């Protein structure tokens, strides 16, 4: 490690709460799907800031929008009407069957809003006192206390209990288990179409359709967490659109403003009736600056057909990875995912492989100890993906 890097590392240890275990990389600059560290070394970014920089680092058009808006208006709060927020709502809602938006600042906050809206909808619109939210094993919905309860993983809530009541969890993929878990106290079922933090696990189409059908039969709400899988990542604008689903509420964040903190829920008119003035709010949500950048992000994604690009690039790299797996079945157990949300499950612990990839200039994520997770900017070029696949092959051969 260089002296420059070690100085940064030392400073971090001195100044910040110890809540992260960080990669041995101090990033100085980014452009498109590339990063440069403090020593000037270049990397291919296959992580995209955790599925956030969909249009790449320092996208020129977004920089221009940011700069223009920075001289116009940053923030006034939701006490005021703001055209930027309406422009964003209009273009974002044009991508889906939903008709109402609520803006906030993160994925967890979007899920909090979805949970609150579902509960209030049941009580105030359906006149039925139901509050329980059912989630699936291996899901991830955030780190606030309620979304930790929804996530239901003991390791993540260690030391933080008590968590809020009103959550239940069932095994993913099992409709009978879900059916028997639904009671008169159930308000909604919340799912990820592709479980991201759970190890990039796409849920089967038939199962997802079955979940929606059970929600309809029982008069409860069907919620999709699109925080990671949404915004063109999986090859459709929204992951639920692969299967013709019509969730009542979706939560959105990560790529929404390409790196500025922003979240949202999108809801049908009927579901949205659960809120009334004063029932839910946030100070920063939908501010002029973030809204302007988010609206431009959505505009570019639609104009440049980023969903199709993600589908084509994803298909291509998955084929190559599949060929690699056939050549090295003793090294790679499974290749899965949708679009540019890809998981490569290794047979053995992948720490050494992940480190070697980083040394050779490829940044990706390692989860569960043996799953390499790829969430690259959707603007990544084929040559960079090809380079990753061949470098992975060489690394696994060692």
DSSP β-bridge partners for residue 383: none
Q: Among 43, 102, 103, 140, which residue interacts with ligand PLP (rule: CB under 6 A)? A: 140
Q: Considering beta carbons, is residue 30 or 263 the nearer one to ligand PLP? A: 263
Give least dist CB 105 to ligand PLP, A.
8
Give least dist CB 233 to ligand PLP, A.
10
101-120 residues in contact with ligand PLP (CB under 6 A) are 106-108, 111
Give least dist CB 197 to ligand PLP, A.
6
Give least dist CB 108 to ligand PLP, A.
3
Q: Considering beta carbons, is residue 192 or 345 the nearer one to ligand PLP? A: 192
Give least dist CB 231 to ligand PLP, A.
12
| Site size with ligand PLP, rule: CB under 6 A | 14
Give least dist CB 268 to ligand PLP, A.
21
Q: Considering beta carbons, is residue 56 or 107 the nearer one to ligand PLP? A: 107
Q: What residue is closest to ligand PLP based on CB?
A: 107
Q: Among 196, 247, 274, 350, which residue interacts with ligand PLP (rule: CB under 6 A)? A: 196
Q: Considering beta carbons, is residue 239 or 335 the nearer one to ligand PLP? A: 239
Give least dist CB 167 to ligand PLP, A.
15
Give least dist CB 337 to ligand PLP, A.
14
Q: Considering beta carbons, is residue 45 or 225 the nearer one to ligand PLP? A: 225
25-44 residues in contact with ligand PLP (CB under 6 A) are none
Give least dist CB 327 to ligand PLP, A.
32
Site string for ligand PLP, 278-307 (x = CB under 6 A): ------------------------------
Q: Considering beta carbons, is residue 140 or 275 the nearer one to ligand PLP? A: 140
Q: Considering beta carbons, is residue 34 or 242 the nearer one to ligand PLP? A: 242
Under 8 Å CB-to-CB from 231, ≥6 apart: which residues? 54, 237, 252, 254, 255, 256, 297, 298, 301
SS (H, E, C) the chain: CCHHHHHHHHHHHHHCCCCCCCCCCCEEEEEECEEEECCCCEEEECCHHHHCCCCCECCHHHHHHHHHHHCCCCCCCCCCCCHHHHHHHHHHHCCCCCCEEEEECCHHHHHHHHHHHHHHHHHHHCCCCCCEEEEECCCCCCCCHHHHHHHCCHHHHCCCCCCCCCEEEECCCCHHHHHHHCCCCEEEEEECCEECCCCCEECCHHHHHHHHHHHHHCCCEEEEECCCCCCCCCCCCCHHHHHCCCCCEEEECHHHHECECCEEEEECHHHHCCCCCCCCCCCCCCCHHHHHHHHHHHHHHHHCCHHHHHHHHHHHHHHHHHHHHHHCCCCEEEEEEECCEEEEEECCCCHHHHHHHHHCCEECEEECCCEEEECCCCCCCHHHHHHHHHHHHHHHHC
Nearest CA to 341 out of 191, 228, 261, 243 is that of: 228
Alpha-carbon distance values, 198 to 106, 165, 218, 270, 363 (Å): 19, 23, 27, 31, 20
Q: Considering beta carbons, is residue 157 or 179 the nearer one to ligand PLP? A: 157
138 binds ligand PLP (CB under 6 A): no
Q: Among 142, 152, 339, 343, which residue interacts with ligand PLP (rule: CB under 6 A)? A: 142
221-260 residues in contact with ligand PLP (CB under 6 A) are 225, 227-228, 253
What is the binding site for ligand PLP (CB under 6 A)?
106-108, 111, 140-142, 192, 196-197, 225, 227-228, 253
């Amino acid at each position: 490690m260089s002296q420059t890097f070690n100085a940064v590392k030392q400073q971090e240890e001195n100044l910040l709460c110890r809540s992260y275990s960080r990669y041995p990389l101090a990033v100085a600059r980014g452009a498109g799907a590339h990063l440069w560290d403090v020593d000037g070394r270049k990397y291919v970014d296959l992580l995209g800031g955790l599925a956030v920089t969909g249009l790449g680092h320092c996208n020129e058009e977004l920089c221009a929008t940011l700069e223009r808006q920075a001289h116009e208006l940053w923030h006034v709060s939701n006490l005021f009407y703001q055209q930027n927020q309406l422009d964003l709502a209009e273009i974002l809602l044009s991508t889906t069957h939903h008709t109402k938006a609520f803006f906030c600042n993160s994925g967890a906050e979007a899920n909090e809003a979805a949970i609150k809206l579902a509960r209030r909808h049941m009580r105030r619109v359906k006149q039925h006192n139901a509050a329980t939210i059912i989630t699936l094993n291996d899901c991830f919905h955030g780190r606030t206390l309620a979304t930790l309860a929804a996530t239901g993983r003991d390791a993540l809530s260690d030391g933080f209990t008590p968590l809020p009541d009103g959550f239940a969890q069932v095994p993913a993929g099992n409709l009978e288990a879900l059916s028997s878990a639904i009671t008169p106290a159930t308000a909604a079922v919340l799912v990820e179409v592709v479980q991201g933090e759970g190890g990039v696990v796409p849920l089967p189409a038939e199962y997802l359709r079955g979940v929606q059908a059970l929600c309809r039969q029982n008069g409860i709400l069907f919620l999709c967490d699109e925080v990671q899988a949404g915004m063109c990542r999986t090859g459709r604008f929204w992951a639920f659109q692969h299967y013709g689903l019509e969730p009542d509420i979706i939560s959105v964040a990560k790529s929404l403003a390409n790196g500025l903190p922003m979240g949202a829920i999108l809801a049908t008119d009927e579901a949205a009736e659960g809120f009334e003035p004063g029932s839910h709010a946030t100070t920063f949500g939908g501010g002029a600056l973030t809204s302007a950048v988010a609206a431009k992000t959505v505009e570019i994604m639609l104009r440049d057909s980023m969903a199709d690009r993600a589908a084509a690039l994803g298909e291509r790299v998955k084929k190559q990875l599949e060929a690699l797996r056939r050549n090295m079945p003793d090294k790679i157990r499974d290749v899965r995912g949708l679009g540019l949300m890809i998981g490569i499950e290794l047979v053995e612990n992948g720490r050494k492989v992940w480190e070697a990839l980083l040394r050779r200039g490829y940044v990706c994520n390692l989860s569960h100890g043996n799953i390499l997770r790829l969430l690259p900017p959707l603007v990544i070029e084929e040559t960079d993906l090809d380079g990753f696949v061949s470098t992975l092959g060489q690394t696994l051969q060692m």
